[in-house]
């Protein structure tokens, strides 16, 4: 089977997740096409059987180019099995899961596309990638009231085993 992995990232963590998933899909014996929605104007769905979408959330939204690609290709996506990984910091906290779910609901409304399967994935604090504004947003909005100091250094909240299990289950239902 051929799997297209379509991702949107701002500080790079979702790129790391997309590469992790690429390795897993390849190791499972499938062909993979990995596409960053910032890099391409045209996305080919030729021969593609399943699509894994992955994108991070900034100020409640997935990257503009990512959501634009999903909207533009919603018929191509609807014709295939799809899994969406929505990466955010709220997904790292039990009390943040409801809000993390809202990001996905809002994306579905904006793009008019609903994936077959979805997962809220805990992202990462990437201190070295933040300008002053980003640092303020992460500290005073996203992590407000939480015992995490983004200036203390980088931290990955992603549960890689859980991502691997979700992708494995998706490949099984699809393949």
Q: Which residues bind ligand FMN (CB under 6 A)?
A: 9-14, 56-60, 87-90, 100, 123-124, 126, 130, 134, 137-138, 142
Is there a contact between 55 and 9 (Cβ–Cβ < 8 Å)? Answer: yes
Least distance to ligand FMN, CB of residue 5, Å = 14
CB closer to ligand FMN, 60 vs 64? 60
DSSP string, 60-124: TB--HHHHHHHHHTHHHHHTSEEEEEEEESGGGSGGGHHHHHHHHHHHHHHHT---SEEEEEE-E
Least distance to ligand FMN, CB of residue 61, Å = 8
Least distance to ligand FMN, CB of residue 57, Å = 4
State which residue has the least CB distance to ligand FMN. Answer: 123
Torsion of CA 83, 88, 91, 93, to 10 degrees: 170
CB closer to ligand FMN, 42 vs 59? 59
- CA 116/CA 80 separation, integer angstroms: 9
Least distance to ligand FMN, CB of residue 31, Å = 24
CB closer to ligand FMN, 104 vs 142? 142
CB closer to ligand FMN, 1 vs 134? 134
Question: Whose CA is closest to 57, among 118, 123, 133, 130?
Answer: 123
Least distance to ligand FMN, CB of residue 29, Å = 27
CB closer to ligand FMN, 25 vs 100? 100
Other Cβ atoms within 10 Å of 109 Cβ, number: 10
Residue 22 burial class via C-beta count within 10 angstroms: exposed 0-12, middle 13-18, buried 19 and up = middle
């Amino acid at each position: 089977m051929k799997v297209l992995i379509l991702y949107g990232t701002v500080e790079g963590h979702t790129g790391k997740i997309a590469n992790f998933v690429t390795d897993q899909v390849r190791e499972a014996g499938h062909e993979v096409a990995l596409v960053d929605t910032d890099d391409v104007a045209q996305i080919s769905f030729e021969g593609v059987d399943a699509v894994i979408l992955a994108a991070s959330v900034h100020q409640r939204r997935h990257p503009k180019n990512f959501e634009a690609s999903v909207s533009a290709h919603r018929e191509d996506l609807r014709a295939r099995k799809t899994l969406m990984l929505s990466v955010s910091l709220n997904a790292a906290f039990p009390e943040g899961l409801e809000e993390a779910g809202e990001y996905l609901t809002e994306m579905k409304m904006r793009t008019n596309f609903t994936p077959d399967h979805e997962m809220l994935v805990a992202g990462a604090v990437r201190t070295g990638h933040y300008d002053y504004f980003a640092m303020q947003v992460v500290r005073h909005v996203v992590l407000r009231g939480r015992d995490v100091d983004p200036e203390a250094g980088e931290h990955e909240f992603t549960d890689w085993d859980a991502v691997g299990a979700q992708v494995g289950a998706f490949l099984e239902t699809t393949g």
